[in-house]
Amino acid sequence: MNHSFAHKVALVAGGAGTVGSGIVKALLQQGIKKVIVPSRSETALKNLLEYCSSESKVSERLALVNADISKQDEREFNKILSVLQEEQILHLDVLVSCMGSWWQKGVPTSQPYSELLNCFHDLCGSHFIFLRKFLPMIKERQGTSYTIITGGAGGFLANAESGFTTVAQSALWGLSLAVRKECEKSPVRVNEARISISVVKDDQVKQQWEHATSDMGRSIVDGIVLNDQVRGQVVSIDSREKLAQLSNRNAPA
Ligand SMILES: NC(=O)c1ccc[n+]([C@@H]2O[C@H](COP(=O)([O-])OP(=O)(O)OC[C@H]3O[C@@H](n4cnc5c(N)ncnc54)[C@H](OP(=O)(O)O)[C@@H]3O)[C@@H](O)[C@H]2O)c1
């Protein structure tokens, strides 16, 4: 645990998902004061609480909010703002945007336009709606960070059936580029963690190419989210070696 993070408050969009839950756990382990996680699913929130149950004072430090922050609906945003009010939190410090899942429903010509829009919304639009609302709240404050989690599939096609994943991920790369440029001279550190390896829940790792959620979370949090040296960068996470290099927990003092 690092005591210099004990005053910080984090909001992790997509924090109940596979990659997001590892990030949430790693933030708690690093001594972050409060981690707020919205999800559209009560079950996913319950599972996240269970996953983080061994962390210190988790019931006080983890705030779970049943909300859809990708809806442009003030009532959904207000659910997050109510937590800040109730807990007398004046500022957010750490924002992580980790939304979207793998899409693989068929080749482009087999799909209706509505499916492309749905995929785009989940993998890219949700990030835009989140950043539009929350990035301005931290943009001009020192010591803040904003991290966008993306996938390597923006730059390659895994197979023809997953083509919309590539379409939406490459758009997300573009959004990341535009936002990093916008914030170039602002105090906030905006970075992108670009994952090109497979991540699965800790208890589902079976193959040598699969990586545990908790390992990925530690690497993203230690190496990017809480690392003051990283600013305006795309950090590619494409190997086990890179995962180990980013996480500093076992480094000699
Ligand atoms: N897992 C991997 O192997 C892998 C590899 C490379 C990159 N990534 C990247 O990691 C990120 C997360 O992937 P994941 O594997 O953790 O996916 P996941 O387990 O399916 O979780 C996705 C999360 O995104 C949220 N989400 C999806 N659509 C949303 C929407 N329209 N509005 C609000 N929230 C939405 C979900 O929120 P709810 O809780 O509300 O359902 C969920 O928490 C993605 O950017 C993905 O490209 C993952």
21 CA: nearest ligand 1 atom? 16
pLDDT at 246 over 80: yes
Instruction: Return the residue whose CA atom lies nearest to atom 24 of ligand 1.
Output: 99
3-247 CATH choice from 3.40.50.720, 3.40.140.10, 1.10.760.10, 1.10.357.10: 3.40.50.720
Residues 93-144 have pLDDT tens digits of 999 999 999 999 999 999 999 999 999 999 999 999 999 999 999 999 999 9
Burial classification of residue 129, based on how many CB atoms lie within 10 Å of its CB (0-12 exposed, 13-18 middle, 19 or more buried): buried
Residues 133-173 have pLDDT tens digits of 999 999 999 999 999 999 999 999 999 999 999 999 999 99
The phi, psi pair for 94, rounded to 5°, reads -125, 120
Quote the ligand 1 centre to 252 CA distance (angstroms). 34
CA distance 247 to 100: 24
Quote the ligand 1 centre to 84 CA distance (angstroms). 24
197 CA: nearest ligand 1 atom? 5
Q: Torsion over CA of 125, 131, 134 and 135, rounded to 10 degrees?
A: -170
- Report pLDDT for 4: 80
Longest CA span, the chain:
56
Is any ligand 1 atom within 6 A of the Cβ of residue 40?
A: yes
Share of the chain above pLDDT 90, in %: 96
Is any ligand 1 atom within 6 A of the Cβ of residue 35?
A: no
44 CA: nearest ligand 1 atom? 39
Is any ligand 1 atom within 6 A of the Cβ of residue 133?
A: no
CA distance 196 to 218: 16
Instruction: Band the pLDDT of 253: cuts 50, 70, 90.
Output: very low
DSSP helix/strand/coil, 99: coil
- Report pLDDT for 1: 64
196 CA: nearest ligand 1 atom? 6
Residues 67-91 have pLDDT tens digits of 999 998 999 999 999 999 999 999 9
- How is residue 70 written in tokens? 């990708």
Mean pLDDT in the chain? 95
CA distance 65 to 227: 27
Q: Residue ranges per domain, the chain?
A: 3-247
Task: Report the residue among 21, 41, 102 best suited for mutation to probe ligand 1: largest number of ligand atoms under 8 A from its CB.
Answer: 102
Q: Are 58 and 32 spatial neighbours (Cβ–Cβ below 8 Å)? A: no
Instruction: Band the pLDDT of 232: cuts 50, 70, 90.
Output: very high
Residues 32-42 have pLDDT tens digits of 999 999 999 99
Is any ligand 1 atom within 6 A of the Cβ of residue 201?
A: no
- Report pLDDT for 249: 72
- Report pLDDT for 250: 56
- Report pLDDT for 59: 94
Is any ligand 1 atom within 6 A of the Cβ of residue 96?
A: no
CA distance 202 to 226: 22
Share of the chain above pLDDT 70, in %: 97
- How is residue 207 written in tokens? 């193959």
125 CA: nearest ligand 1 atom? 31
pLDDT at 2 over 90: no
CA distance 169 to 124: 7
CA distance 125 to 120: 6
With residue 55 as reference, give the H or E element that holds it.
Answer: none
pLDDT at 252 over 60: no
pLDDT at 251 over 80: no
Is any ligand 1 atom within 6 A of the Cβ of residue 41?
A: yes
pTM, rounded to two decimals: 0.97
Quote the ligand 1 centre to 18 CA distance (angstroms). 7
pLDDT at 12 over 50: yes
The phi, psi pair for 157, rounded to 5°, reads -105, 115
16 CA: nearest ligand 1 atom? 43
